A and B are shown apart, each in its own frame.
Chain A
């Protein structure tokens, strides 16, 4: 047992992650061809527009359909549909928490591949200044509110105002880069278009194409560029405190050397500076556990599942990984 522990704690998390991510990518993007269906409430960008490859649907798509609901129908079977959808979503999240972002999300994986490419080319990454970081990180909450409120305003007239036009439907999907990027992996480029049928449709799909361009540029120079603005990540963070998978920190063992902060793709400063909190899952965290791998202090950071530590920072593991990665 002790040797197994030492083996796991000494493992190279990057390599492990690479293969797990690849596995999930194949499953979620091509699983549909093998008749795999994981339902409609996946807490990750398994894009619903990717037909027939998808092995399940990103929860944000049905959510935007479900919130397109008149007031008087909320207390009805349709309202119950919202509730069961949400409960299924929370159930998925309850087990793996935000690791859905760091290990499963196909769009996240694509961004990690772009990062690897940049790294191989020897081009420096860019980061946000702390000021911009705190300002920009609010965007994902605004997007989350909008993607719920807009469909609702399509079905309801508030304060006598006219309802929003029907072609505002699934507003977030219209601007989400996954709608274009993920179907492309099954050879479907039909989403890479601007729909000129109406003014609204043209605006929304045009915005989508713009975001796609920004996604490719931003994702190349910033690590996990899009995740920072992702409303799914915002929705996760509402429930991530109760989930079984946790990132724990023992502040008394922390020297605040900042090694974890250096490794963090999401620029989460608290991972190094906060020595009070026992669990440290910030809203931007994707639970990739690179921080655990880059901590040289015994047991200062650990990933735990139902209170059982599964991956822990150790001095031996730290130096082993450093030596190995240096040689590559």
Chain B
């Protein structure tokens, strides 16, 4: 392929990408009335980054991450900025298809597509990525990233988290990563720098937890599509700016709660969203759910709740304990389906369903995401036993199935409404 053709293709992809993002953003912003004022920060952020192609952290040392298990505190402490590369774009999904088998996960394909397209301007010249060996596809895609010219640190994650052996194995891998980060950025992680970065992340988590709790209100004060947009922005936004923006949003949402404002219909069924993560611009399913008259009040996904909820606890504020503490945070509470047991995920879903007075659960699995597909049976049976209706949706990034999906979702929501009336 000549350079000219390649350049032309890249240009086409760029245009397609910006169109895709603009359409998705438009839908999220304009198709719904009464968006919170504080959401403008986030709409504007996506407009700049995704539609206009602005670089998130110009002039800074950036390190790409591919899963929630990367202890981002360490990256901040080493003087760099983590940017999560997990991608939600259909354009990139198509570009990435050439590297992966036909039946593989859209998210992994899209991430590879972005990295191979030459459009991945989020990283700096160092092209550094830390790839966690979570599922098989992510593990092997780390190798493909290397082939595409990236410098990849493979962070090995154990396949279970209950055993002490798994914990110590993971802790020692994270310690190795911490040492390597120091030589990579030229800033050794120190007691003070790590303490400060743990504080920054904790502040962001506090902001998220406040938003999370506000959604428990009997009248949903904010729509789930907006919250997904907010948490998704954590992937690439400046962490302090993000936290301030979320706190501003929290203040507004809190006021809404006091005023008795309802973001959806007063009797809209309350949905708990679980499974494969919605990542902009692929907020297809959440938007469909809320367009059909339900409201997402909570989630159990790695682009939102699982990423931001659990907090680091340090016992001794020395480097040795802090590194282990951030390692523990990434492993122990994680409800990712790649682990052998699904007990924690079940318990988490049940607890969320109860505290958020949920009417039903929507379980999204990207076709090709084997682990989420494999957990579907046990989770669905568990929810049924607990008397919680659930809908399993297998989908991908393509817009082709929207018609079919909306029929299924509307039917599910109607059944939830009917169930409520019977009660």
Contacts and interface: CB of A to CB of B under 8 A. Distances in A.
A315 B209 contact: yes
B344 A256 contact: yes
Contacts of A283: none
A217 interface: no
A35 interface: no
A319 interface: yes
B61 interface: no
A255 B348 contact: yes
B318 A322 contact: no
Interface stretch (A68-76, A205-213, A258-266): A258-266
A253 interface: yes
Interface in A115-136: 119, 122, 124-125, 129-130
Interface in B334-384: 344, 347-348, 350-351, 354
Contact of A262 (B209, B309, B325, B348): B325
Contacts of B198: 326
Interface residues of A, number: 33
Interface string B298-314: 00000000000111111
Interface of A, secondary structure class, is: helix
Interface in B282-318: 309-318
A275 interface: yes
A323 B313 contact: no
Interface in A247-294: 251-260, 262-263, 269, 272-273, 275, 290, 294
Interface string A31-61: 0000000000000000000000000000000
A319 B206 CA distance: 8
A222 to B, nearest CB: 13
Given A119-B318, A296-B313, A315-B209, A252 B347 contact: yes
B311 A122 contact: no
A252 B347 CA distance: 7
B333 A125 contact: no
Contacts of B6: none
A258 B318 contact: no
Given A129-B164, A255-B344, A258-B332, A322 B311 contact: yes
Contacts of A275: 347
B115 to A, nearest CB: 32
A15 interface: no
Contacts of B311: 257, 259, 296, 318-319, 322
Given A129-B164, A252-B351, A275-B347, A323 B332 contact: no
A319 B202 contact: yes
Contacts of A253: 351
Contact of B313 (A124, A130, A255, A263): A263
Nearest to A265: B315
A258 B332 CA distance: 6
Interface string B223-237: 000000000000000
Nearest to A290: B315
Nearest to B213: A315
Contacts of B162: 273
A119 B347 contact: no
A321 to B, nearest CB: 9
A269 B310 CA distance: 18
A257 B312 CA distance: 9
A35 B198 CA distance: 50
A10 to B, nearest CB: 14
Question: Which of A259, A272, A326 is the most central at the interface, judged by chain B CB atoms within 10 Å of its CB?
Answer: A259
Nearest to A255: B333
B12 interface: no
B195 interface: yes
Contacts of B328: 257-259, 262
Contact of A256 (B195, B202, B312, B333): B333
16 contacts: A122-B319, A130-B164, A252-B347, A253-B351, A255-B309, A258-B332, A258-B333, A259-B328, A260-B313, A262-B314, A272-B332, A319-B206, A319-B311, A322-B314, A323-B199, A326-B317
Given A122-B319, A255-B348, A257-B332, 13 more contacts: A119-B316, A124-B321, A129-B164, A130-B164, A254-B347, A257-B313, A262-B328, A263-B313, A318-B311, A319-B202, A322-B311, A322-B313, A326-B198
